[in-house]
Structure 1
Amino acid sequence: MEAKRVPDDPNQTDHPSPNDRLAGAIERLEPALVGLLSTVTRERRSSGLWSLVKRAGIVLMFFLGLLVWSFIYGTAFGIHPTVIDPTVAQVEIDGAIGSGNVTSADNVVPMLQSLCKQPNVRGLVLHISSPGGSPGDAERIGAAVDTCKAMPLAKGQAHPPAARRRVVAVIDGLGASAGYMIALHADEIVANPTGMVGSIGVIIEGLKYDALMQKVGVSSYAYASGPLKTMLSPYAADTPAQKAVAQELANAAMQVFRREVMTRRPHLDTRTPDLWSGRVWVAGDAVRMGLIDKVGLLEPVEASEFPALQVQSFRPTRDVRGLVNLSTWVDAFRESLMARPVSLQ
């Protein structure tokens, strides 16, 4: 008997199903996908590594730059550069002299001490352009210059007078009052042809607010232990007795300044009118009076005084501790408003 043929399942065909086709396509693409993912991964790793290298390089360059800067301008960190070759140190005395200014004894004296301890610093040029300032700071800087002259030029050896370190002051523009007081400590004082020198005198100055306070209805009070204790207060007018004492102080300080000038400038013509009046003179007149030694410019003077030595400039800078110290700024602002005890200006 003939067997009955069972018809095929209408859902079954000889062609592969979509799932089979997708699986086959994935199998065929698998090597390519794996290769693509490997390439992307390598590139990302390489890019990340290169980015890390660049960042590390930037940080390294920053610290190298900071290191170079600290050696060049290292006084901001209390670091003073070492002079390798025989050198003339040109020290910049620029601007007002005194506390709160860049050119203060607190900044200049440590720099001078560091330089003059180095035997390779064979000479010193005080490059001065200053209207004056604090006599106390000027005296401290001048004393450091005198000490610098006496320091030996060779380690462990006391040098003869002929081998002492020579100091020359060169005044550019203005060398007045405290600026001139510093110049007095040099072996020779030179000023450029248009330079102005002198202003030998003392001033006590400040502001008075008492009249303004009366206008706006503000009053002040002070319980003092003596009648002179409130002298120079900005909140009240000085009494005649206080004015007399202030003038006496200015005159006494002036006598100290005057003796200093006469001692250090033995050829000074004391018969010059207005010599002690506080005026300044042009360089040519200052030479004739004996205030300075000659007229000249900075570079030619350095070349003639120190012909075989290179010149390196050193400028005082504020210490970082002073820059971040709020009291420094407060004190500077307060000094600009309050009466200053004594000023050579």
Structure 2
Amino acid sequence: MTFPKQFSSKLPAVLGGDHGGVVAAVRIQGMIAPHGGGIGRHVVTAESVDEQLVRAFTTDHVKAVALVINSPGGSPMQSEAIASRVRGLATKHKVPVLAFCEDVTASGGYWVACAADEIYAAATSMVGSIGVISSGFGFVDLMNRVGVERRVYTSGTEKARLDPFLPEQSEDVEWLSGLQSSMHELFRDWVTERRGAKLDTTNDLFNGDVWLGAQAHKLGLVDGVGGVRTVIDERFPGAEIEFVTPKRPLFARLGMPFPDPFGMDGVVSRLAWARFGL
């Protein structure tokens, strides 16, 4: 039996023969936060990407999973949870993981990237920011000017730490600094565990700074400079890139608008991006 050339060329893939395979790609796009809040699709949580990750690792003929990351970071816990989930699925299904840095892969975004076996960045990607930041506002003078008296009642002496409506206490700042140091140490340990001997230890890589792709490569923060399609074509010849997209919320399927991104959560998200000029 003979088949026309245009059909016979596709038979191996259909019959499971010499299949080029699939690289399943998952986008990690936006600030990493404990909840979606009022920004909807502009925020990443461990829960929001879990279903995509599972689908990616269980894709038919999967050769590798690609994490396409564009994130200024955010919640350490959520970043750790996403990274842990990636490693668990990679081990379970014995599938290699590659991470690709887009505009920014910083702080918690880089934490997630380190879950990959290989990390790549574009020449113009901003990578790093291995550190911990806490920020807030003080409204004590404003409260005094408008004649508002703050009343706080607690059953524990430290329950009102860093209250923005009360004067800042040096012991509270010292306490926060201790938390930040402990969190920073966890971040350093994770990067060192995942990147190991690739890191250029003659430079201070853990001071919170960011680097462009080529410099990040020299420092060992990434394995090479290149985009998703270029690297995948080289590493997995003949493989197709299949983006695993999230299921659309009901209101989106009905043509309703997403929640307003200009609430307080939206402001926080935009400020996080603004640190990188975006």
TM-score, normalization: structure 2?
Answer: 0.77
Q: 2:109 & 2:248 partners in 1: Cα distance?
A: 19
> Is 1:172–2:102 an aligned residue pair?
yes
Deviation at 1:292, TM superposition (A): 0.9
Write the letter of the residue equivalent to 2:102. D
Deviation at 1:219, TM superposition (A): 2.0
Change in CA separation of 1:315 and 1:209 when aligned onto 2, cut-off 3 Å: farther
Q: 1:317 & 1:207 partners in 2: Cα distance?
A: 37
Task: Note the 1:271-282 alignment, pairs <5 A.
Answer: 271-273=202-204, 275-282=205-212
Q: 2:65 & 2:98 partners in 1: Cα distance?
A: 6
Q: 1:230 & 1:300 partners in 2: Cα distance?
A: 53
Match of 1:141 among 82, 92, 97: 82
The number of residues matched between the two structures is 237
Match of 2:57 among 116, 136, 139: 116
Kept in 1: contact 2:24–2:57 (CA 8 A)? no
Q: What's the % identity of the aligned pairs?
A: 34
Kept in 1: contact 2:26–2:56 (CA 8 A)? no
CA shift digits 1:186-237 (9 cap, x unpaired):
0100000111111000112223222222221112111122332111322223
> Is 1:215–2:145 an aligned residue pair?
yes
Kept in 2: contact 1:113–1:144 (CA 8 A)? no
Q: Residue 128 of structure 1: SS of its match in structure 2?
A: strand
Kept in 2: contact 1:109–1:140 (CA 8 A)? no
Kept in 2: contact 1:102–1:317 (CA 8 A)? no
Deviation at 1:246, TM superposition (A): 0.7
Per the alignment, residue 161 of structure 1 pairs with none
Deviation at 1:337, TM superposition (A): 8.8
Deviation at 1:333, TM superposition (A): 5.3
Q: 2:160 & 2:266 partners in 1: Cα distance?
A: 18
**Structure 2: gaps (5+ residues):** 1-19, 37-41, 252-258, 269-274
Q: 1:277 & 1:228 partners in 2: Cα distance?
A: 30
Per the alignment, residue 24 of structure 2 pairs with 89
Kept in 2: contact 1:210–1:234 (CA 8 A)? yes
Task: Note the 1:168-207 alignment, pairs <5 A.
Answer: 168-207=98-137
Q: 2:250 & 2:172 partners in 1: Cα distance?
A: 40
Q: 1:179 & 1:318 partners in 2: Cα distance?
A: 23
TM-score, normalization: structure 1?
Answer: 0.63
CA shift digits 1:49-82 (9 cap, x unpaired):
xxxxxxxxxxxxxxxxxxxxxxxxxxxxxxxxxx
Deviation at 1:166, TM superposition (A): 1.5
Per the alignment, residue 151 of structure 1 pairs with 92
Q: 2:60 & 2:227 partners in 1: Cα distance?
A: 27
Per the alignment, residue 238 of structure 1 pairs with 168
Kept in 1: contact 2:56–2:65 (CA 8 A)? no
Superposition CA RMSD, Å: 2.7
**Structure 1: gaps (5+ residues):** 1-84, 153-163, 322-328, 339-344
Task: Tell me which moved more, 114-123 or 275-284.
Answer: 114-123
CA shift digits 1:226-269 (9 cap, x unpaired):
33211132222331111110111011100000111111111212
Write the letter of the residue equivalent to 2:202. R
> Is 1:270–2:201 an aligned residue pair?
yes
Q: Residue 224 of structure 1: SS of its match in structure 2?
A: coil
CA shift digits 1:256-294 (9 cap, x unpaired):
001111111112122204x22211011111111111111
Match of 1:300 among 215, 230, 247: 230
Deviation at 1:318, TM superposition (A): 6.8
Deviation at 1:86, TM superposition (A): 4.2
Q: Residue 108 of structure 1: SS of its match in structure 2?
A: helix
Match of 2:46 among 105, 126, 129: 105
Kept in 2: contact 1:102–1:318 (CA 8 A)? no
Q: Residue 277 of structure 1: SS of its match in structure 2?
A: coil
Change in CA separation of 1:206 and 1:171 when aligned onto 2, cut-off 3 Å: same
Match of 1:251 among 181, 185, 195: 181
CA shift digits 1:174-193 (9 cap, x unpaired):
11000100010101000001
CA shift digits 1:1-25 (9 cap, x unpaired):
xxxxxxxxxxxxxxxxxxxxxxxxx
Write the letter of the residue equivalent to 1:298. V
